[in-house]
Structure 1
Amino acid sequence: MNSAHRPKRGFVMKALVAVLALSAGSAMATPFFRGLNYVDPYHAKVKEAGYVEKTAKVNNITLSYAEGPNNGPPLVLLHAQFLDWFSYSRVLPALAKSFHVYDIDYPGHGKTVTPANYPMTANQIGSDLSDFISKDIGQAVYISGNSSGGLLATWLAANRPQQIKAALLEDPPLFSSEYPAIKKTIAYRAFKTSYTAVKDDHPDNFILYWVQKNAAFFRNNIGPGTPYFLSQAITTYHRNHPGQPVELGRVKNDTIRMMLRGLDQYDPRFGAAFYDGSWNKGFDQGKALAKIQCPVLLMQADYSYKPGGILDGAMSKEDAQAAMALLKHGTYQKVDATHVVNLDKPQLFIEAIEHFFLGKKAG
């Protein structure tokens, strides 16, 4: 298409999206562009609580993490896939009162740096996290992992028992992230986006690529016209805040806003490894659960099924039951919350951690 036609195409595209938005009673453009100077208030709260961002050289990677003050036993936090350490910001100030928190960007996420040939596998990432615990923490830890972070916490509890005193697995995709079950989950499409980015398309800007490829997700969760306006807002944010992960204040859902921040720093090789199955190479989740000797709290969030029997969530009831049957010292907690419990119900998460690890009573 020659350049003479491009303005017309852009005008038609903008007009079409605007009509769609207005016809649904939604003026999406103005809210997005009003939120471009947003600063999450928890940046200040986390800093006031004594957290400091640090890096550590671990084998072939540079691990990024936030460390809190030494107010108790060490607690390692491993966020969900697509997020980064800051996703725990809503619970960090409270946890700093009772723990020495290490909130880690594991490989593929945040500011952690990995070489181009780094194997995105549970075995490799788990081994590097273990070496970090050994070298930079120097004693056994409590650990809590959400989603993929929960799988890594499972790996550590199973394979490095001397390092883990107890584990909270926050809605991990146990069994549902293994083949063939993974093909019947909503996560499979997101993993495919990562896979095509790595293998075929090689986008220069992964977050814009992800928004385009998963437009229906944003329309369903934010509103009509969202993908177009969201892409424009992200582009403008990058121009105005070079080197900073995107934060859009007008995205009211904390989890989606944190996901956008995380996607802006995400290495799609991580998700691609889930899609092709290589992430689980040498890591049988059932065998790992059966090996764990320490106390484990398995926290399951809400889930449902979409047409065709597609699991919309991390675990089914059957997955959770199978996991509990394998754990020697397992406790089960079903919570009425979305997948990232620590963002959706932060007080519930804080009380669960303090009760399970320290024996504190709620309230």
Structure 2
Amino acid sequence: MARVGKKAGMIAGIAIAALALAAGIALAVYVDNNRHGEERDLARAHAAGFEEKQVQVSIAIAGDATLNYAEGPDNGPALVLVHGQGMQWEDYARVLPDLAKRYHVFAVDCFGHGESSHDPALYSCEAIGQAVKAFAAQEVGGAYLVSGHSSGGIVAAWLAANDVEHVTACVLEDPPFFRVTPEEMQAPPGCFVWKDAFEVIHAYLNQEDAVDPAVYYAQHSYLFGLFGGLQPKIAAWTAAERAAAPDAHLTLAWVPHDWVRGLYYYDDFDVRFGETFYDGTWFDGVDQADLLSRITCPTVYLKAQTSYGEDGTLFAANSDEDAARVQQLIACCETTVIESGHDIHYEHPDAFAKAVNEAAGKSSGRR
């Protein structure tokens, strides 16, 4: 009997050790992915032939400026990608190798992001739209598809409406139409992006402490506040990482990457860009309904499923009612709702590539 008990104890010990080893491996994989997952995505994009470049563009409302971009191999129709606020062209890295098989991809850095010009005079939909239009004329030199994510989706819509001769198809990836002005974002029940981004940026720019903007965000984030006592720890980890590597992308290896991905490119982001959404100047001179009604090319509208927080806050880029209005205003539009976070091309690269292919196919069918 004692021998049986001893054997059972040994088996239990081996099982516990195996579980501990598995847990250790899982933790190591989790931390490694948080630290290096984005780097590996970018390495695959470079291996697929993407090269980073810069060009000078002339903008009617602001003069000359530098536009940074990545260009892939010429394997098909030109495709221009415009990232969302707080990101840069590398945000598309996960989907670039697949897109490069069928398209000649140009992924730009918007002003105030990455290596493009950081100048508040350029921080508007009109200026960015004019710049990308000039860029396409110089570097693409003909017809192109355009896709934009979030605020970049509004820029993509601007291009589809204002470069009609060259834009053959458009993909709008979860743009915040009808939730983009200060009044729209503050209308009850309120928007997540207003509370988590623009209010925080405005407060940061109006305080006197010399604190890093990423650290300030971590300390005051609406999102991190939902995690209760975890927010001070995330803020402390952010401060420690920024102090150790102020010029590096923020990773926070112990925090789920999806929680903090919005901070990843903060080292190359001018937060004054966000202030233009707080005061409404980013959208000066642009009427949303008029803009959408002037889009005549085939358009695929990718909408992340609408969700609300426990306090009623709209967590999505816009509501179902807003999305229906987008669909109604664009003459040739197909709306696809997907269960995803806001950054669809990162979370569901296959679905995003499919949307681009569908838009391209509709464009070919028209010709």
Provide the TM-score with structure 1 as the length reference: 0.82
Where in structure 2 are there 5+ consecutive unaligned residues?
Answer: 1-27, 59-63
Q: For 1:32 and 1:197, locate their aligned partners in 2 and report how far apart those are by CA, in whole Å.
A: 32
In structure 1, what is the equivalent of residue 115 of structure 2? 111
Could you say what secondary structure the match of 1:72 adopts?
A: coil
Q: 2: distance between equivalents of 1:96 and 1:205?
A: 37
> By how many angstroms is 1:245 displaced?
2.9
Separation in structure 1 between the aligned mates of residue 358 and residue 40 of structure 2, nearest angstrom? 27
Matched, 1:245 2:253: no
Is the partner of 1:264 in helix, strand or coil?
helix
1:32·1:230 contact (CA, 8 Å) conserved in 2?
no
Match runs of 1:1-363 below 5 Å = 38=36, 40-59=39-58, 60-115=64-119, 117-183=120-186, 184-189=190-195, 190-201=197-208, 203=210, 205-214=212-221, 216-217=223-224, 220=227, 225-238=233-246, 243-253=247-257, 255-307=258-310, 309-358=312-361
Residue aligned with 2:147, SS = strand
Contact residue 197 and residue 203 of structure 1 kept, 8 A? no
Deviation of the 1:234 alpha carbon: 2.9
CA distances 1:159-207 after superposition (whole Å, capped 9, x unpaired): 2212311100001000011242211211112112222333444756322
**Aligned to 1:161, what secondary structure does the other structure show?**
coil
Name the structure 2 match of 1:6.
Answer: none
Describe the shift of the 1:286–1:83 C-alpha distance in structure 2 as closer, same or farther (beyond 3 A): same
Does the Cα contact within 8 Å between 1:79 and 1:104 map onto a contact in 2?
yes
Q: CA deviation at 1:251?
A: 4.2
- Cα pair 1:77 1:101 within 8 Å, conserved: yes
Once the two structures are TM-superposed, the CA of residue 327 in structure 1 deviates from its matched residue by 0.7
Q: Summarize the Cα distance change of 1:166–1:216 in structure 2 as closer, same or farther, 3 Å threshold.
A: closer
**Larger CA Rg, structure 1 vs 2:** 2
Aligned partner letter, 2:175: P
User: Conserved in 1, the CA contact under 8 Å of 2:34 and 2:256?
Assistant: no
Deviations 1:26-51 (A, max 9, x none): xxxx9999889747212221111000
Partners of 1:353 and 1:249 in 2: CA distance:
32
The 3 A distance-change label for structure 1 pair 35 and 318 is closer
CA distance in 2, matches of 1:33, 1:307: 30
Of 243-252 and 290-299, deviating more is 243-252
Instruction: Please state how far the C-alpha of 1:126 moved relative to its aligned partner.
Output: 0.9
User: RMSD across aligned C-alpha pairs, in angstroms?
Assistant: 2.7
Change (3 A) 1:342 1:220: farther
Q: CA deviation at 1:230?
A: 2.7
The one-letter amino acid paired with 1:62 is T
**Structure 2: distance between partners of 1:31 and 1:212:** 28
Q: Which runs of 5+ in 1 are unaligned?
A: 1-29
Instruction: Please name the residue that 2:7 is paired with.
Output: none
Bigger mean CA deviation after superposition, 348-357 or 85-94? 348-357
